[in-house]
């Protein structure tokens, strides 16, 4: 199906496979031109050819390793200079299921570089232009482990909690500036990421693994509905709303001039 509408350009990181590739296909069908970013140029070129053939949209390939300064700088430059970009999908990331005590420190640092540092720098690169144009959107792919740090590797969970926290702050900071922010918190999703982490996700979580297509489709429905935090598997959004309202209710008592009475000397 050739799309004739024009939604601007979506830049998608980690677009060569999995969640990023599905976002690319779905967004092109919605009328976005694309900039697809990942390390593997060959896979990106194959994706670009297929998407252009099926939708008629322009797809620019930007092969870059976001964990390396040169690659990251190239994508930052693209976000700053291309005023056609109306949507940034921060999807690139790596995972780990190993206990922290068994983890390699260099691998954990590389995870932080991609999951945290790269996502932060790309967000900082695109936001000023969005503010100047009074429009734009950011979709940040977090994870349910942001809410369940006991579930997997602690550094991975912490990196995804950072993504959620940054998204919450951006939503607050950008309110009234015409800019949308969505944090997507998938549960177990059938992507190549699990294999790279050395995990047979279907064996670990039988019957609880969502397809990538279903995850992205649900998240885009939520995006259309203006939802901020999207947990595709969560049956009742009221559960998230209750969680968030209780978090916000802590605010007035989190910083006071005196310790709470329970800390008085006995």
What pTM was estimated for this model as a whole?
0.93
Strands of the sheet with 59-63, listed across from one edge? 59-63, 33-38, 9-13, 85-90, 136-141, 179-184, 229-230
Instruction: Report in angstroms the alpha-carbon separations of 75 from 65, 119, 121, 197.
Output: 9, 11, 10, 25
Distance between alpha carbon 38 and the CA centroid of its chain, in Å? Answer: 14
Cβ atoms < 10 Å from Cβ of 16 = 25
**What's the CA gap between 126 and 84, in Å, rounded?**
11
The per-residue pLDDT for 196 is 65
- Which listed residue (23, 156, 162, 263) is catalytic? 156
Structural domain range at position 108: 9-263
Determine the 3-state secondary structure of 66 from DSSP.
Answer: coil
Reply yes or no on whether 162 is catalytic.
no
Question: What six digits make up the tokens of 82?
Answer: 């291309």
Q: Give 152 or 73, the one with higher predicted confidence.
A: 73
In a domain, 70, yes or no: yes
Number of domains in the chain: 1
Query: What are the tens digits of pLDDT across the range 193-204?
Result: 666 666 676 666
**What's the CA gap between 233 and 231, in Å, rounded?**
6
| Mean pLDDT, the chain, whole residue set | 93
Residue that has been written with the tokens 């912490």 in this structure: 158
The per-residue pLDDT for 191 is 79
**What's the CA gap between 263 and 186, in Å, rounded?**
39
Q: Highest mean pLDDT: which of 130-134, 147-151, 199-203, 261-265?
A: 130-134
Mean pLDDT to the nearest integer, 203-228: 90
Q: What is the CB-side half-sphere exposure of residue 27 using CA atoms within 13 A? A: 31
In a domain, 90, yes or no: yes
In a domain, 86, yes or no: yes
Kindly report the CATH number assigned to the domain that includes residue 53: 3.40.50.720
pLDDT at 205 over 70: no
pLDDT at 134 over 80: yes
**In terms of C-beta density within 10 A (0-12 exposed, 13-18 middle, 19 or more buried), how is residue 261 classed?**
exposed
Q: Are 142 and 184 in contact (CB under 8 A)?
A: yes
In a domain, 3, yes or no: no
In a domain, 191, yes or no: yes
The per-residue pLDDT for 192 is 73
Query: What are the tens digits of pLDDT across the range 233-254?
Result: 999 999 999 999 999 999 999 9
In a domain, 2, yes or no: no
The per-residue pLDDT for 266 is 66
In a domain, 4, yes or no: no
Mean pLDDT to the nearest integer, 39-44: 97
In a domain, 126, yes or no: yes
Distance between alpha carbon 102 and the CA centroid of its chain, in Å? Answer: 27
């Amino acid at each position: 199906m050739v799309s004739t509408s024009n939604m601007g350009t979506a830049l998608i990181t980690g677009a060569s496979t999995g969640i990023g590739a599905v976002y690319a296909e779905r967004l092109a069908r919605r009328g976005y031109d694309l900039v697809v970013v990942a390390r593997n140029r060959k896979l990106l070129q194959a994706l670009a050819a297929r998407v252009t053939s099926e939708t008629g949209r322009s797809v620019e390939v930007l092969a870059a390793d976001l964990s390396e300064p040169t690659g990251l700088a190239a994508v930052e430059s693209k976000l700053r200079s291309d005023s056609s970009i109306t949507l940034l999908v921060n999807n690139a990331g790596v995972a780990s299921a190993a206990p922290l005590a068994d983890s390699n420190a260099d691998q954990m640092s590389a995870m932080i570089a991609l999951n945290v540092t790269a996502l932060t720098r790309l967000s900082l690169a695109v936001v000023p232009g969005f503010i100047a144009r009074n429009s734009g959107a950011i979709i940040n792919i977090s994870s349910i482990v942001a809410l369940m740090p006991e579930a997997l590797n602690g550094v991975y969970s912490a990196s995804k909690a950072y993504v959620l926290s940054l998204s919450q702050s951006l939503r607050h900071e950008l309110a009234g500036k015409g800019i949308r922010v969505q944090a997507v918190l998938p549960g177990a999703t059938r992507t190549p990421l699990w294999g790279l982490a050395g995990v047979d996700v279907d064996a670990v979580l039988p019957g609880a693994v969502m397809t990538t297509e279903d995850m992205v489709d649900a998240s885009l429905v939520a995006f259309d509905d203006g939802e901020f935090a999207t947990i595709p598997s969560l049956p009742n959004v009221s559960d998230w709303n209750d969680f968030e309202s209780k978090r916000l209710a802590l605010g007035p008592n989190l910083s006071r001039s005196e310790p709470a009475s329970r800390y008085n000397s006995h």
